[in-house]
Structure 1
Amino acid sequence: MSDYKTPKNRIPYLYITFLIIVLSCWGFYIVSTDSSYVFAKHWAAILTMIFGSFIAGSSPEGSAAIAYPVFTLLLKIAPAVARNFAFAIQSIGMTSATLLILGLKIKVDWNYIKYVTFGGVFGLIFGTYYIVPLISPPLAKLFFVSLWLSFGLILWYENRHPHREVFDKIQNFVKSDMARLIFFGLIGGIISSIFGTGINIFTFCLMTIYYRINEKVAVPSSVIIMTIETILGFFVHGAVIGDFQQEAFEMWLACIPFVAFFAPLGAYVISKLPRKAIATFLYIILIVQFFGAIWVLKPSLPHLGLCLITLLAGLGTFAYLARLKRVVIKE
C-alpha cells in the first residue's frame, strides 16, 4: 500500500548548483556573442515553453508534448527542428526538475527508472536511424494523442473506485517485471525518437494501470527517465548525426532561463498535491492535447478513422492491463 509522505523541507543544493552554472554560461554566451535578439525573434517559443516546462516537471508528459504540436502545427516549424529543440530544451528543464527531485528526496521507484531507461536507450537509437525517416508527422501526432487519451480514460475509470489500492514501488519485483519494463522502455524510446518525448508517458501507463503505482511516485520517476532519454537524444543529434539546426539553437538560447525555473517549479508543486489532484491534472492535459490536435490538424475522414481505431485499441489494451490484477503478496 501507498504510505507516501510529503518530503520535508530541504535545500536542493544539486539544483541550485546546476542553475548557477547553466545561467552563468548562458549569460556569458548571450553577452559575448550579442545574441539578445533571440528573445524578440522567438517570443512565441518562450511563451510555449513557460507552460510546457511546467507541464514537463509536474506530469509524465515531457515539454515536447506541448512544444511539438504548437511548433509544427501553429508556428509552422519543421518537425525535425521541433524534435531537436525538444531534446535540447528538455536537457535543461528536465535536468533541473530531476535535480530538484533528487535534492528534495521526493520518492521514486528505482527499478522502474533503471530498467525502462535501459530499454529506452536502445529504442531511441534504433528509432532515430530506422523509424523516424518512415513516419509522417501528422499521422504520428494523431496516433500519439489518441493513444494517450485512451490511457487517460482508463485511468479515470480505475480511479473512480474510492478504495483503489496503490503502491509506492513495484511489489514482489521478479525477472519477468524486469523484462516487461525493458520492453516498454524499448517501445517508449522509439516513440521519443519521433517526438522528442514519449517514453515517460508510455511507461507511466504501465506503472499506474498494471502495477498500480501511486501517481505521486510515478510522475517524478518518469521525469528522471525522460531526463536521461532527452540528454541522449540531444547528444545523438548534436554530436553524432550533427543535424542540430540554427533555428533550434536560437530557440534553445531564448528559452533556457525560463525552463530552468518552471520545470523544477512543476516538480515541486506536484509533490505537494494529493494523488487524485495529480490524476485529474493529467486527465485535463490528455483531453486538451487530443482535441487541440484535432482542431489544428483538421484530419480527413481516413485520419479520423485512424484516431478511432487507435483509441479503441488503446482502451482495449489498457483495460486488459487493468484487469490482469497482478498478484501482490503481502509482506
Structure 2
Amino acid sequence: MSTSARPVRRIPILYFLFLVSVLSSWAWYMNSLPDVGFLMRRWAAALTMILGSFIAGSSPEGSAAISYPVFTLLLKIPPPVARNFSFAIQSIGMTSATLLILGLHVRVDWNYIRYVTLGGVFGLIFGTYYVVPLISPVAAKLFFVSLWLSFGITLWRENRNPSRIVFDAIPNFQTSDMIRLALFGLVGGIISSIFGTGINIFTFCLVTIYYGLNEKVATPSSVIIMTIETLLGFFLHAQILHDFSQESLELWLTCIPVVVFFAPLGAFVITKLARSIIARLLYVILMVQFAGAMVVIKPSPSQWLLSIITLAAGLGLFAYIARLRRRTVA
C-alpha cells in the first residue's frame, strides 16, 4: 500500500508567541494608565498604519515610507517625533513580519542580510549623531522619493526583458561583494537615521539590479534587515538619546494592535505572489509615494528642480549598475 507524501505544515510558533506576549503586555499597560483618551485622538495614526504596516511586510519599503510623510505633512507631527515613532512601531510590526518569515521558512539571502546589516549599524549611529542635525526633512524626502522612483523605472525596464536572469541567492559571492554590501548598508543606515527607514529599499536596489536577486527573495530579506535596523534605532533614541517623547509614546501605543497583525499579513501575502506581481506592486508603491509627496509637499520651483535632477541622475546611476551587471553575467 502506497501513501502520498503530504507537504510539511510550517507553523510560525515564534510569531504566535510574540503576538500573544505583545497584545497581553499592551493590554496590561493600557489598563494601568489613568487616561487612555489619546487612543481616540490618535485614530488617524492607526488608520495610516493599516496600510503602512502591510506595505512594510510585503515590500522593501518600511512602514515609515507611509507614516513619515503622512504624519509630518498631513497630521503636522514634528519630524523627530515621526522618525522616533517609526523606529518604535516598526520594532513591533517588522519583528512580527520577520518571525513569520522565519517560521514559514521563506527563502532569504543570508549573505545579503549579514553584510548589509553590518554596515547599516555603523551608518545608523553615524547618521543619528552627525547627519540628522544638518538635514532639511522636506528636501531629503523629495530627494529620496525621486531616487526610489528612478529605481522603480529602471527595474520596470529591466523586467520588460524576457531574457532577464534572476537568482535565488547572490551568485559567486566573494570578498568584494561583502565590502560592496557593507558600504551600501552604511549609506542605507544613514538614510534610515533620517526617516526611520531606507536601508531596506536602498540595498534592495543594489541586489535586484546589480546582482539580479529575485524580488521574491530580496523582499523578505530586506524586511529582516529593516527589523534589525529599527530595533537598534528604537533602542538608540529611547535608551541612549532619551528623546522618545510623550507624543511618540501615544502614537506607538495607539498603533501596536494594528501593526502586530497587518505587517505579518503583508509578509504572508508576499509568499503567495509570483515574482512579476511583487515587482508590479513595488512599481505602484514607488509611483504613489512620489505622487503623494508632490501633492502634499507642493514643491517650490527649486524643490522641483531638485527632484528632476535626482530623478535623472538616479536613472543614469541605476542604468549604469544594470549595464555592469549584464557584463558580469555575460
Class of the TM-score when normalised by the shorter of the 2 chains: over 0.9
Structure 2 partner of 1:163: 163
Structure 1 partner of 2:234: 234
**Cα distance in 2 for residues equivalent to 1:231 and 1:8:** 32
- Deviation string, structure 1 residues 78-111 (Cα, Å, up to 9, x no partner): 0000000000000000000000000000000000
Contact 1:52 1:66 in 2 (8 A): yes
Q: CA RMSD, aligned part only?
A: 1.1
Shifted more, 28-37 versus 218-227: the winner is: 28-37
Shifted more, 29-38 versus 140-149: the winner is: 29-38
Sort the Cα spacing of 1:8 and 1:47 in 2 relative to 1 into closer, same or farther, 3 A.
farther
- Deviation string, structure 1 residues 192-248 (Cα, Å, up to 9, x no partner): 000000000000000100000010100000000000000000000000000001000
Measured after TM superposition, the shift of residue 9 of structure 1 is 3.9
**Cα distance in 1 for residues equivalent to 2:8 and 2:39:** 37
**Cα distance in 2 for residues equivalent to 1:267 and 1:81:** 27
1:306 has 2:281 as partner: no
Aligned pairs for 1:47-66 (under 5 A) are 47-66=47-66
Aligned pairs for 1:95-244 (under 5 A) are 95-244=95-244
Structure 1 stretches of at least 4 aligned residues deviating more than 2 Å after TM superposition = 326-329
**Cα distance in 2 for residues equivalent to 1:51 and 1:37:** 23
The aligned amino acid for 1:220 is P
TM-score by length of 2: 0.96
Aligned pairs for 1:278-317 (under 5 A) are 278-317=278-317
**Cα distance in 2 for residues equivalent to 1:68 and 1:45:** 11
Contact 1:38 1:253 in 2 (8 A): no
Sort the Cα spacing of 1:62 and 1:70 in 2 relative to 1 into closer, same or farther, 3 A.
same
- Deviation string, structure 1 residues 258-296 (Cα, Å, up to 9, x no partner): 100000000000010000000000000000000110111
**Cα distance in 1 for residues equivalent to 2:152 and 2:305:** 20
Structure 1 partner of 2:37: 37
- Deviation string, structure 1 residues 11-62 (Cα, Å, up to 9, x no partner): 1001001111111111000011144323201000000001100000000000
Structure 2 partner of 1:327: 328
Gaps of 5+ in 2: 1-6
Measured after TM superposition, the shift of residue 328 of structure 1 is 4.5
**Cα distance in 1 for residues equivalent to 2:44 and 2:79:** 16
Structure 1 partner of 2:4: none
Sort the Cα spacing of 1:254 and 1:237 in 2 relative to 1 into closer, same or farther, 3 A.
same
Sort the Cα spacing of 1:223 and 1:8 in 2 relative to 1 into closer, same or farther, 3 A.
farther
Contact 1:171 1:328 in 2 (8 A): no
The aligned amino acid for 1:266 is G
The aligned amino acid for 1:281 is L
Contact 1:172 1:328 in 2 (8 A): no
Aligned pairs for 1:267-286 (under 5 A) are 267-286=267-286
Aligned pairs for 1:260-271 (under 5 A) are 260-271=260-271
3-state SS of the aligned residue for 1:49? Answer: helix
Sort the Cα spacing of 1:91 and 1:326 in 2 relative to 1 into closer, same or farther, 3 A.
farther
The aligned amino acid for 1:123 is G
The aligned amino acid for 2:219 is V
**Cα distance in 2 for residues equivalent to 1:326 and 1:147:** 24
Structure 2 partner of 1:257: 257
TM-score by length of 1: 0.96
Contact 1:139 1:303 in 2 (8 A): yes
The aligned amino acid for 2:291 is F
The aligned amino acid for 1:50 is I
Structure 2 partner of 1:15: 15
Report percent identity of matched pairs.
71
Gaps of 5+ in 1: 1-6
3-state SS of the aligned residue for 1:327? Answer: helix
